[in-house]
Amino acid sequence: MSKFIIAIDLGGTSAKMGVLNDNAEIIDRWSVETDISQEGTLIVPNIIQSIQGFLNRENISIDDIKGIGLGTPGTINHEEGTVVSAYNLNWRTVQHVRDQFQEAFPVPFFMDNDANVAALGEQWQGAGEQADNVVMVTLGTGVGGGVVIDGQLVHGINQAAGEIGHMTIEFHDPIDCTCGKKGCLETVASATGAVNLATKHINDFGGQSELKSMVERGDEVSAYSIFQKAEEDQDEYALYIVDLYVDYLGRAFSHIANTLNPANIIIGGGVSGSGEFLRSRVEKYFKEYSFSQIRETSKVVIAKLGNDAGMFGAAQIVNNGLNK
């Protein structure tokens, strides 16, 4: 008899739920709005209620559910089954998430941080091609990361493994990071980082450029517009900024790969929408900065699953947890 996994990808605006069968196919999906009022105390009960509603509606017995997996923002305490510091969920105090799920459903429950879960999803069903050793770097508002070794997520002793965005990468005139340090990868290689570079280097470039004029006028500039101007318009200042950006990333990737020699380093997040234009440029610097055996084996690839990475990863933490 087939057993299903219920996967939950919890975010600040909605919780996306999916039911996966043994073939890793999402056979049903729905979402509920994330209600962060009352210090976020309604979030888990709302998710539980919607799962109960789904099981009743589809006439699925809880005995058919192999387990429930949750990807969530915040810091997880795996021993206690709690989450804290998920500010976009309004979870400032410790949330006893696992207890709530286990009280409602008598099936195994597993959870992990959303960046980790997305990395595991890509490793399992996306650009990781089920390789045992994969690192994912997510280029969004910040730079997130997840490390999979021997098919398992790496957490470290304080759940902080994979904080690739806070690798110190710039030593000359470094930009302040939201974490309190200076010169973190995130300050130069996130979507915000691309804009930081366009502002910081404005006086380095003497030529004609629409992007440069925009920055000088104080017009709103985004990572998207920088990459678009570089790729489509061949704007020279945009190309100069992109070259700095991919140099930082290639350097960071070489540090990761020189340490771990993963099969794939997966680039995800909004900036990865630039696709091959971004990938090939990062790869060029990655190869330049990597040790030869690393250069010949570790690949730089673009994420494939988009928003579904979190759901696949939430399902895979159930499989991994049950197979331990």
Are 202 and 215 in contact, with CB atoms under 8 Å apart?
yes
- 3-state secondary structure string across 35-102: CCCHHHCCHHHHHHHHHHHHHHHCCCCHHHEEEEEEEECCEEECCCCEEECEHHHCECCCECHHHHHH
Residue number with CB closer to Zn ion (127 or 169) = 169
Residue number with CB closer to Zn ion (44 or 177) = 177
Which of 94, 160, 179, 322 forms a contact with Zn ion (CB under 5 A)? 179
Provide the minimum distance between the beta carbon of 176 and Zn ion in the complex, in angstroms, as a whole number: 9
Residue number with CB closer to Zn ion (134 or 185) = 185
279 lies in the site for Zn ion, by CB under 5 A = no
Q: What are phi and psi of 315, to 5 degrees?
A: -70, -40
181 lies in the site for Zn ion, by CB under 5 A = yes
160 lies in the site for Zn ion, by CB under 5 A = no
164 lies in the site for Zn ion, by CB under 5 A = no
The three-class DSSP label of residue 291 is coil
177 lies in the site for Zn ion, by CB under 5 A = yes
Residue number with CB closer to Zn ion (178 or 258) = 178
Residue 271 makes CB contacts below 8 A (sequence gap 6+) with 139, 140, 190, 191, 194, 223, 227, 278
Which of 166, 212, 251, 281 forms a contact with Zn ion (CB under 5 A)? 166
Task: Give kind and range of the element (H or E) at residue 311.
Answer: helix 309-323
Site for Zn ion (CB under 5 A): how many residues?
Answer: 5
Phi-psi category of 31—alpha, beta or left, where left has phi over 0 and alpha has psi -120 to 50?
Answer: beta
Residues numbered 45 to 74 that lie near Zn ion (CB under 5 A) are none
184 lies in the site for Zn ion, by CB under 5 A = yes
Tokens of 5: 């996994």
Residue number with CB closer to Zn ion (27 or 160) = 160
Per CB under 5 A, residues contacting Zn ion are 166, 177, 179, 181, 184
